[in-house]
A = this chain, B = another copy of it.
Amino acid sequence: MRIGILTGGGDCPGLNAVIRAVVRKGVGHDGDEVIGFRDGWRGLLDGDAVPLDLAAVRGILPRGGTVLGTSRTNPYALDDGPERVLSCLDRFGIDALVPIGGEDTLGVATRLAERGVRVVGVPKTIDNDLDATDYTFGFDTAVGVATEAIDRLHTTGDSHHRTLVVEVMGRHAGWIALHAGMAGGANVILIPEHPFDVDAVVAHVQHRFDTGFSPIVVVSEGAQARDGALTVAAGQADAFGHVRLGGIGPALAALIEERTGRESRAVVLGHVQRGGTPSPFDRVLATRFGLAAIEAVHDGETGVMVALRGTDIVRVPLATATARLKLVPAERYAEAEVFFG
């Protein structure tokens, strides 16, 4: 078979591991041809493609990023987008397509499947917020980067008797904050699913100082205060006269400093969480996703996505898979709260 592959949306450690697995199994074992489209759906709009043989994927397993490039291009945002994609698939003689991406990328995949394209999706979101799979690759790596930063900040916080606020990724779901915060021994964890009470945060911070140690607050970029005090637009002065750039972290640090009378500093981890070599967990998961995608293609599946359930790779319908965000449930947040203060 001739199988097309592309990577869309935000960067995520493990993308190359999926690509390699698809090629090693497809080309190396099953006699397929694999064609890579560049920069996500853009490559399918423009016919920008490259054949992927075994040599093309040699050595890419431990590398972050994607050798195919990525973009946020959505064919359905263009009038003739879907037609151009279909015509390109036809021109390249693509029998099946394996798009690797998040909600947006897989949303396009779902609609193409409805148009008759044979599609097997591979889920990708560093935020781990896709409901149909236990974990997505990239998440464990991001948690690792954030945890290492928290480990480092503990010692410097204690030496200076300062509060340190660490802003991590997570616009809608707080999984990275939850896991990195639990792993790093954070004294407060704030996530989008649970709007926070500023007084309670300050009380936890104060309590931690009372034990003789310094507080670490981990906050998802999408977390918000209950009263809305901290949700000012970037670049505007907030209620305390502080000008913020790009996140809740610095605003929260300023507020804590004001309220506790002790120095407070923010660290915004940013894109470091998205790059670099994937963790072993992510390499294994991404590799298994790639293998399972090829198997599903050969089994004649379409309109499905591979997913992790426990330790098994399963297939779920694309349409339902992307329908719902996986949020941190109350009981998981309650586990974390045991360690607050």
Please report A residues at the B interface, Cβ cutoff 8 Å: 7, 10-11, 13, 15, 21, 24-25, 28-29, 39, 58, 61-66, 69-71, 134-135, 140, 143-145, 147-149, 151-161, 164, 179-180, 182-185, 211, 213, 234-235, 242-246, 250, 265-272, 274-277, 279-281, 283-284, 287-288, 291, 309-311, 335, 338-339
A159 contact from B65, B244, B280, B311, Cβ within 8 A:
B65
**How far apart are A337's CB and chain B's nearest CB, in angstroms?**
9
A8 to B191, CA, bound (A): 36
Smallest distance from the beta carbon of A276 to chain B beta carbons, Å?
3
The answer to whether A64 and B156 have CB atoms under 8 Å apart is yes
Q: What are the residues of chain B within 8 A of A21 when measuring CB–CB?
A: 338
User: How far apart are the CA atoms of A102 and B22 in the complex, in Å?
Assistant: 37
Give the CA-CA distance A149 to B269 in the complex, in Å: 10
The docked-state distance in angstroms from the alpha carbon of A275 to that of B213 is 15
Select which of B11, B39, B63, B291 is within 8 A of A338 by beta carbon: B291
> A265 with B276: in contact, given A152-B145, A160-B11 (CB under 8 Å)?
no
A280 contacts which of B58, B63, B143 (Cβ < 8 Å)?
Answer: B143
Question: Which has the most chain B C-beta neighbours within 10 Å: A70, A134, A246, A275?
Answer: A275
A147 to B163, CA, bound (A): 26
CB-contact partner of A151 in B25, B62, B244, B266, under 8 A: B62
Measured between alpha carbons, how far is A21 from B335 in the docked complex, in Å? Answer: 10
Evaluate contact between B159 and A15: CB separation under 8 angstroms: yes
Complex copy number for this chain: 4
Contact A281 B140 (CB under 8 A): yes
Given contacts A24-B338, A71-B160, A287-B335, 19 further A-B contacts (CB under 8 A): A11-B160, A13-B155, A21-B338, A29-B338, A58-B213, A61-B183, A62-B151, A64-B159, A65-B158, A65-B159, A70-B160, A147-B280, A164-B271, A184-B280, A243-B245, A244-B245, A265-B270, A268-B268, A309-B310
Contact (Cβ within 8 A) B338 A161: no
A66 contacts across to B, CB distance below 8 A: 159
- Of the residues B183, B281, B335, contact of A283 by C-beta under 8 Å: B183
On chain B, the residues within 8 Å of A164 by CB distance are 271
Q: Are A250 and B243 within 8 A (Cβ)?
A: no
Contact residues in B for A283 (Cβ distance below 8 Å): 147, 182-183
Whether B182 contacts A287 by the Cβ 8 Å rule is yes
A63 nearest in chain B by CB position = B155
CB distance A272 to B152 under 8 Å?
yes
Report the minimum CB–CB distance from A150 to chain B (whole Å): 9
Name the residue on B nearest A70 (C-beta). B159
Residue of B nearest to A329 (CB): B311
- Bound together, the chains give a CA A64 to CA B150 distance in angstroms of 12
What residues on B are CB-neighbors of A235 within 8 Å?
242-243
